[in-house]
Homo-oligomer: A and B are copies of this chain.
Amino acid sequence: MSDRPLQAELRNSIVLVEDGAKEELYRDSFYGRPAGKHIELSLAEAAYLLYRKKIQVIAGGKELDFRSFFEVACSLTKNFELKYIVYSDLRGRGYYVQPGTPDFRVYPRGGHPGKTPAEFLVRVLSERNPLPLPELLRQVSAAANLKKSLVLAIVDEESDITFYGVKGIAMKGTMPPLPEISAAATLLEDRAIIWDKDKSGYLHRTGFFGNMLDEERLQLSLVEGAYLMGKGLSVTVPGETEKLGFPDFRARAEKIEPEFMNKYAAYADLRASGLVAKTGFKFGTHFRVYSGLPKNIEHSKYLVHAIEYDHAFSLQRLSRAVRLSHSVRKTMVYAFVRNRNVGYIGIERMKL
């Protein structure tokens, strides 16, 4: 580029650069888009070029310095400063970036507009924005339809950026389905116990259900108990002889654990998909999930948390969950029920 700053003008939320800029800004460096004789810059592009003294910006006949331009841009666009932080980070690290939906289209390393398609669709968020699941799902599938990856760029209060890749996940494991069983359990507060030694051993050994209380008795969690009821387990309450129906069991479970039905739906779907779900309490999630019998596989591959379809993520909590799953080499997955089907999205930290 030449040393003389190009003349540009702020009009509404757009910065138009003088004739002659096409070559320098657009063809060589992929800033802006052609608009007739001019090049049109977004506010983030303009602020970036202004800081680097590549352009001079006039508004209402007066030149704006960086600070004035920045303050005006903040008043014109919500979260301008966040977009600027992310734009200049990406651009400063050699990525070509164009405005797009949700916020930016980012080209792969070595690629640029006109040569390659964009690889990432980037959404910029402050750590304080709550993020509703339905909105995130729409963006995940919009990106997938365009064969691009959705990336969340979350800016923290000190303006550091963390990038997260988000995608739909098909959960599939290798466990054969459990045949019908005949066994009995007692429901004690928030867990059930199978007292019979052989049945306890069988369920624990072949399906990795529950946890042995001692060498003879098996303790089941509420979701395990509910799932095994569907396979033939009869459950009673101490002092009563008649066995519990599912609605009764569910009512008791929901009193103890209000999210029971979310957890149960995810658990049953994971089991039906050949996966083994065990409690993820130590990781602060509902489940850790193995793709087969743990003794053959050792490490669980996923942490799964069951949420309502209308859940709104707190980004601070999301960050903690993803960071933790990353540190134990698992993928953080959220499970939700939509139109009676269980869906899954995986969220991973990424370097961009």
Point out residues on A near B: beta carbons under 8 Å: 51, 67, 70-71, 74-75, 79, 81, 85, 88, 126-128, 154, 156-160, 162, 186, 188-191, 193, 195, 210-211, 213-214, 219, 221-224, 238-239, 256-257, 278-279, 281-285, 316-317, 319-321, 323-324, 327-328
Contacts and interface: CB of A to CB of B under 8 A. Distances in A.
Contacts of A257: 128
B283 A320 contact: yes
A51 B214 CA distance: 9
A61 B70 CA distance: 86
Greatest chain B CB density within 10 A among A81, A160, A189, A284 is at A284
A259 to B, nearest CB: 10
A88 B217 CA distance: 14
A281 B214 contact: no
A282 B158 contact: no
Contacts of A320: 283-285, 320-321, 324
B156 A279 contact: yes
For the residues of A in contact with B, the DSSP-based class is mixed
B323 A160 contact: no
8 contacts: A75-B239, A157-B221, A158-B211, A158-B221, A160-B281, A283-B320, A320-B320, A324-B324
Contacts of A282: 156, 160, 162, 319, 323
Contacts of A324: 284, 320, 323-324, 327
Contacts of A70: 188, 193
Contact of A281 (B156, B223, B239): B156
Contacts of A188: 70-71, 74, 81
Contacts of A79: 189
A93 B181 CA distance: 34
Closest 10 interchain pairs by CB? A284-B320, A156-B281, A157-B221, A71-B238, A327-B327, A158-B211, A324-B324, A159-B211, A158-B279, A159-B219
Greatest chain B CB density within 10 A among A85, A186, A283, A323 is at A323
Contacts of A224: 158
A325 B283 CA distance: 12
B191 A279 contact: no
A226 to B, nearest CB: 12
